[in-house]
Amino acid sequence: MAQTSTAASATRGSLLKNIIFFSVPLALSSVLQLLFNAADVVVVGRFVGSTALAAVGSNSALINLLVNLFVGLSIGSNVVAARCFGAKDDAGVRNTVHTSVAIGFISGAFLAFVGFFAARYLLELMSCPVDVIDLSTIYLKIYFIGMPVNMVYNFSSALLRAVGDTRRPLYCLAASGVVNVILNLVFVIGFQLSVAGVALATIISQALSAGLVLWLLCREKGALHLNMRALSIHRGTLIQILRIGLPAGLQSTVFSLSNVVIQSAINSFGSIIVAGNSAASNIEGFVYISMNAFSQAAVTFTSQNVGARQYHNIDRVLINCLGCVGVTGLVMGVGATIFGEPLLGIYSSDPAVIDAGMIRLIMICSCYFLCGFMDVLANCLRGLGYSVMPMVVSLVGSCALRLIWIATIFQLFHTTRMLYLSYPVSWGLTVLAHLICFFVVRRKWQKELRAKAAV
């Protein structure tokens, strides 16, 4: 099978070097993608006001709740394509490409319909502040109109990542990111469109990035080539994608559900706290996606090594990814806390908003490396083909614990600090559980390999 020149080697050479070369462009791509939302938040916060800032920022948890199931399916596409690529299965790669892009279009259309018509009802369920809900509804409806291109980008870029190509999606997002910032300024300052302007800018820029990635796939030679006229759902490939991606998507969805409950609790403190939380969450996002690049490397490198039967590399992939994510999380998380006030000042000049944001940064950011460890361990298990196990562990160890925390401890000590403390506590317990699961799976694999060698 012809490999793209941009593909990093996941099965030979220096794994640490290859993981870094894979992850850095991916992290930069994610930074640019997050800048879509950051530009929205900064522009409305500085040029419209705290209410508009709260309206845009308070939607994040709800958007993730509706979107993450299908983003999880894109992880399934990544694993299936990476395994086929590692095994040099051209037919498998072709089927995965056309099935994945078709799923992207279908899931995007579904989300656009649901998100548009259910926006206000869902915001009311979250106890969105009265002075924010009208603006939040406008932003959410427009944002979800662009969901088809958002999903197509996620599935298409997952296919490129599966063969080690993280650079070209970066170039696509760089172009669309520049367009997003320009359109934000034009629509908000020039046309006075407030939150509607930033939502329009976001979906236009997302359409550009999706179009560019589709164009790259259409120009590919070999098995990764996309023929738009041949889009279809291949039943066998779909089953493989669902087997890996559905548990991952359900896990992300339930995670988002717990975050929606937390967001609802934050909403009860009023629009100033909501605005500060929104700004701090946006800053945290940059720490998270930098770590998440290494967890994406974990699933891709593990999957390719399984496909190539290079089982001796699996431990090395895990150790290298954990080391990278730990260093990244500590440096960026502590840095975001130390420089929190000037960073929050970019989003709002209101001292009360900055103070509210600092509480979240202090409680969460310095421990963010635990979240990175959790994701790496879960993705290594998914790469090995165990997707249900990390889903169950994460739901019990993280989501259920947060909900219990909110129903008990938070009710006794009704402060934002106590609410935010649920994050590092749940991360730490989930990391321990994932480590136990990995060692159990590893021992099982070793026994199976020894049995095959004996035969």
CA distance 33 to 174: 9
pLDDT of residue 215: 95
Within 13 Å, how many C-alpha atoms sit on residue 446's CB side? 10
Q: What are the tens digits of pLDDT across the range 346-365? A: 888 889 989 999 999 999 98
Q: What are the tens digits of pLDDT across the range 73-105? A: 888 898 899 888 888 889 999 999 999 999 999
Residue 50 has pLDDT above 80, yes or no: no
Q: Which two tokens stand for residue 438?
A: 């990995």
The model's pTM is 0.71
CA distance 383 to 397: 21
Residue 36 has pLDDT above 70, yes or no: no
pLDDT of residue 444: 82
Residue with tokens 């930033």: 198
- Looking at residue 308, its amino acid is A
CA distance 406 to 400: 10
Percent over 90 (pLDDT), the chain = 33
pLDDT of residue 7: 44
- Reported as a pLDDT band with limits 50, 70 and 90, residue 8 is very low
Distance (Å) of CA 380 to CA 79, 301, 392: 11, 9, 15
Which residues, including other chains, have CB under 8 Å from residue 60's CB and lie 6 or more apart?
37, 263, 278, 281
Q: Which two tokens stand for residue 242?
A: 């669902």
At residue 128, φ and ψ (nearest 5 deg) are -60, 130
Element counts in the chain: helices (H) and strands (E)? 19, 0
Residue 322 has pLDDT above 50, yes or no: yes
CA distance between the termini of the chain: 30
CA distance 224 to 5: 13
Residue with tokens 């290079």: 310
Q: Which two tokens stand for residue 402?
A: 């947060």
Of 165-179, 339-353, 416-430, the range with the lowest mean pLDDT is: 165-179
Q: Is 233 helix (H, G, I), strand (E, B) or coil?
A: coil
Of 320-334, 354-368, 394-408, the range with the lowest mean pLDDT is: 394-408
Within 13 Å, how many C-alpha atoms sit on residue 398's CB side? 29
CA distance 313 to 10: 9
Of 81-85, 155-159, 384-388, which has the strongest mean pLDDT? 155-159
Neighbours of 232 (CB within 10 A): 12
pLDDT of residue 110: 94
- Looking at residue 145, its amino acid is I
Q: What are the tens digits of pLDDT across the range 218-245? A: 999 888 999 998 899 999 999 999 988 8
